[in-house]
Amino acid sequence: MSFMIGVDTGGTFTDGFFTRNGDLRTVKVLTTPHDLTVCLADCLREGARQFGVSLQDMLAETDIVRYSTTVSVNTIIQRVGAKIGLLVTRGFKDSFYSPDVSKIEPIYSFVGKDMIDDVVEEIDARGKVVRPLDAEDLIAKMQRLIDLGARAIVVSLNYSDVNPAHEREIRAIIKEHSPSYFLGSIRVLLASDISDHPDAFYRTNAAVLNGYIHDAMVRYLYRSEDDLRANLYTRPLMVGHSHGGTARVAKTRAIDTYSSGPVLGVFGAELVGKLHGFSEVVAVDVGGTSLDIGIIRGGSHNYSLTPVIADLPVSVPMIVTESVGLGGCSIVKLNNAGGVQVGPRSAGASPGPACFNRGGTEATVTDADVVLGYIDPDNFLGGRVKLNKDKAVSTIKRRIADPLKISVEEAAHLIKETTEMRIHEEVVKFLKEKGVATDHLGDFALVAYGGGGPTRYAGFIGGLKFGKVLTSPYASTFCAFGFSTTDLIHRYSRYTRTTLFDGAKYLSDFKKINQTVKQLMD
């Protein structure tokens, strides 16, 4: 009589997929951005209610709770992460170790130029300390960043992949000189803890993005696990990772969760495609906050050792999906050309679209769907939430229809058509980037899901002749469903600098990896 639970928290909704001995239930509740532990608890309670048991009775009989989230994706898309400082090796403040400085501009979206400093130290390519760390110089730089409001300091030094000693020394010094009562303690995040990739530019990008989303993730993952234990769940909370598996909270870094929800949706799309005889699958997830696109080629996932996140190559292997700020709660505004712009900003769950009746004053895609009748305002979330159609009408009238001198219905159609045109463009762009000829898609199945996938696919596939277009009765909770198909995976990797014929060095690394695997099996 054991339960298995998968929960996926997005920017707008939190979805649950619950099974017990072949019996299943799906749950969808509003995400609570002020405290994500609340929507997790709401989802679990609703799942228990649907099975007719108490929350504690359900969790006491639960074998596994898997948890994924698009919070990191949405944080990066909307640029609402923590204010961080960055310390690099002296001489690399303006290049971040990249030989092509034209490629560094995207990093300034996540750490301001005034929040970057360099420290006096040097380690060579063999890991030898050439110049010791100047602690006095470091303390001055640290204090400047703290005074400017840094909530975390990211440290990425040259050649820390072969010798992280100076990075660790910096962490110890900062901890010593910024006690826990000062601003609630300054977090120090090291590039060498994220990756041992030999390209320092890739390591720096990964460390910066990890620091940027760190607060949004860490502040509630451990609390969520504590809340589960308080309600008689005795096993560890398993967190979805972007490589397609799950791991314990303690084994999870913030960047590991990047795109984990969308990635798990691709696993579900892969299964649906297989059931219909397709090993080539395009997965399109139209959610509340973002559009996420993934691909399966020959039954294999699109795995990258150095994926690109927000135009930055990073040294964190993951299954690649494309995320765009385009979803049901995307805010619609007028552009200079007299048309409408959809996204990337989202109204989220709070205040939400105007029709949510929670104080939202911006027009959104969902408001347009309510006006056009694609969403029944009396049966939203199974009737648990009543939408205010009058608010949707008045907001679209004020924000879009009146300035364009068109009717509310025409404005709503314009929003719908613009949204679907954007989705079409993003799908075509994604396929071309993956080397797929968009005029030869007969071997591919398109699987459309997310709350908006089934509603939108007829409008965005125009001209794209897929072999089959599929959706699911669980489309609105599809990523949580995909979660149920994944395994427990801990990823370990090791880069090595060696001469071409130094076979003994390779053998040594393999022995270390094999020993790690043996310990896990034991």
- The confidence score (pLDDT) of residue 61 equals 96
Residue 57 lies in a domain: yes
pLDDT, position 222: 87
For 101-129, the three-class secondary structure string (H helix, E strand, C coil) is HHHCHHHHHCCCHHHEEEECCEECCCCCE
32 with 349: CB under 8 angstroms? Answer: yes
**Residue 61 belongs to domain with CATH number:** 3.30.420.40
Amino acid letter at 484? S
Residues 226 and 213 grouped into a single domain = no
Final residue in a domain of this structure, among 200, 230, 257 = 257
The pLDDT of residue 490 is: 67
150 and 244 in a single domain? The answer is no
Q: Are residues 63 and 104 in the same domain?
A: no
Number of domains in the chain: 3
Rounded CA gap, 102 and 336, in Å? 29
Helix (H) or strand (E) holding 137: helix 135-147
Q: Dump the DSSP string for 290-304.
A: -EEEEEEETTEE-EE
Question: Is the domain of 210 the same as that of 110?
Answer: yes
CA distances from 293 to 1, 290, 338, 379, 407 (A): 36, 10, 29, 28, 33
Residue 378 lies in a domain: no
- Quick one: pLDDT at residue 504? 61
Q: Confirm if 62 and 233 have CB atoms less than 8 A apart.
A: yes
Per-residue pLDDT of the chain (522 residues; tens, 9 = 90+): 599 999 999 888 999 999 999 899 999 999 988 888 999 999 999 999 999 999 999 999 999 999 988 778 778 877 889 999 999 999 999 999 999 888 999 999 999 999 999 999 999 999 999 999 999 999 999 999 999 999 999 999 999 999 999 999 999 999 988 766 544 578 999 999 999 999 999 999 999 999 999 987 887 888 999 999 999 999 999 999 998 888 888 888 999 998 888 898 999 999 999 999 999 999 999 998 889 999 999 988 888 989 999 999 999 999 989 889 899 999 999 998 888 999 988 998 889 999 999 999 999 999 999 999 999 999 998 888 899 999 999 999 999 999 999 999 999 999 999 999 999 999 999 999 999 999 999 999 999 999 999 999 999 999 899 999 999 999 999 999 988 777 766 666 766 666 655 556 566 666 777 776 777 666
CA distance linking residue 514 with residue 522, whole number of Å:
12
Q: Are residues 90 and 211 in the same domain?
A: yes
Q: Residue 109: inside a domain, yes or no? A: yes
- For residue 313, what are its two tokens? 């190559």
Q: Which of 220, 276, 303 is nearest to 34 (CA)?
A: 220
Residue with tokens 């300390």: 129
**pTM, whole model, 2 decimals?**
0.83
Q: Domain range spanning residue 140? A: 82-217
Alpha carbons within 13 A on the beta-carbon side of 137? 12
Is 232 within a domain? yes
- Shared-domain flag, residues 114 and 175: yes
The predicted pLDDT at position 184 comes to 54
pLDDT of residue 183: 46
Rounded Cα distance, 152 and 154, in Å: 7
CB 202 within 8 A of CB 313: yes
Query: If you count DSSP H runs as helices and E runs as strands, how many of each does the chain have, helices first?
Result: 15, 24
